[in-house]
């Protein structure tokens, strides 16, 4: 049996408050679109760079966020994935060569200098062979995306292609199967 290195990507704390569940009210349902260059040199997923489009059609509301985070806290990542699969899509992510994939969670936090920190999450697409195999990757069923934008809507971000979460009290831990997250470069708000 071979083992793969698993890095703990982050313990997500924003200031002294947990990002999920403690954010000021989300903005209206005005759709937004972002472009980025996806660059991956990790040991998970296709290596290389490609243009990426992220569309947000709605934000995850406070009540929905509270429900999802309660499921994660009490029942774990697998239960959260099942709950996410039953939620209405909040947008999509995709490259020009492929059909977009639905995003299931979108929250944002305004930063001190007028920028934003956006967290996106979805269940990770898995092929049938991966689902039925004994691969360790099955234990990382989420994709976690973070965008960091300035006041003009430009910035960067990261993507944990295969992740699992743990929520203990007000501390959210993100465990990434990859040796490093993929990068999102040249992120900018298109509309």
Residue 7 reports pLDDT greater than 70: no
Looking at the domain assignment, is residue 128 inside a domain? yes
Contact 123, 81 (CB under 8 A): yes
* Within-domain flag for 2: no
Kindly report, residue by residue over 30-63, the tens digit of the pLDDT.
Answer: 899 999 999 998 888 778 899 999 999 999 999 9
The closest of 174, 164, 162 to 43, measured between CA atoms, is 162
Which domain range does residue 131 map to? Answer: 7-189
Q: Identify the pLDDT of residue 130.
A: 63
- Is 31 part of any domain? yes
Say if 148 falls within a structural domain: yes
Among 10-19, 31-40, 64-73, 129-138, name the one with the lowest average pLDDT: 10-19
> How many structural domains compose the chain?
1
C-alpha distance from residue 180 to each of 42, 47, 148, 160 (Å): 6, 12, 17, 8
More confident residue, 45 or 74: 74
Residue 8 CB neighbour total at 10 angstroms: 10
> Is there a domain that residue 43 lies in?
yes
Query: Is residue 59 in some structural domain?
Result: yes
Q: Is residue 1 part of a domain?
A: no
Structure confidence at residue 110 (pLDDT): 93
- The pTM of this model reads 0.81
Query: Would you say residue 36 lies in a domain?
Result: yes
């Amino acid at each position: 049996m071979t083992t793969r290195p698993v890095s703990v990507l982050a313990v997500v704390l924003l200031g002294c408050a947990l990002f999920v569940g403690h954010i000021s009210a989300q903005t209206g349902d005005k759709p937004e679109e972002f472009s980025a260059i996806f660059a991956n040199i990790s040991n998970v997923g296709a290596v290389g760079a490609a243009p990426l489009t992220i569309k947000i059609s709605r934000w995850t509301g406070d009540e929905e966020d509270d429900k999802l985070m309660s499921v994660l806290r009490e029942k774990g990542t697998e239960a959260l994935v099942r709950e996410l699969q039953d939620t209405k899509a909040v947008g999509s992510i995709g490259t020009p060569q492929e059909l977009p994939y639905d995003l299931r969670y979108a929250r944002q936090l305004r930063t001190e200098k007028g920028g934003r920190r956006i967290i996106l999450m979805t269940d990770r697409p898995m092929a049938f062979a991966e689902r039925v195999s004994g691969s360790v990757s099955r234990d990382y069923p989420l994709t976690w995306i973070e965008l960091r934008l300035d006041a003009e809507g430009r910035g960067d971000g990261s993507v944990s292609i295969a992740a699992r979460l743990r929520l203990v009290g007000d501390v959210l831990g993100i465990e990434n199967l990859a040796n490093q997250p993929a990068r999102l470069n040249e992120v900018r708000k298109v509309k």
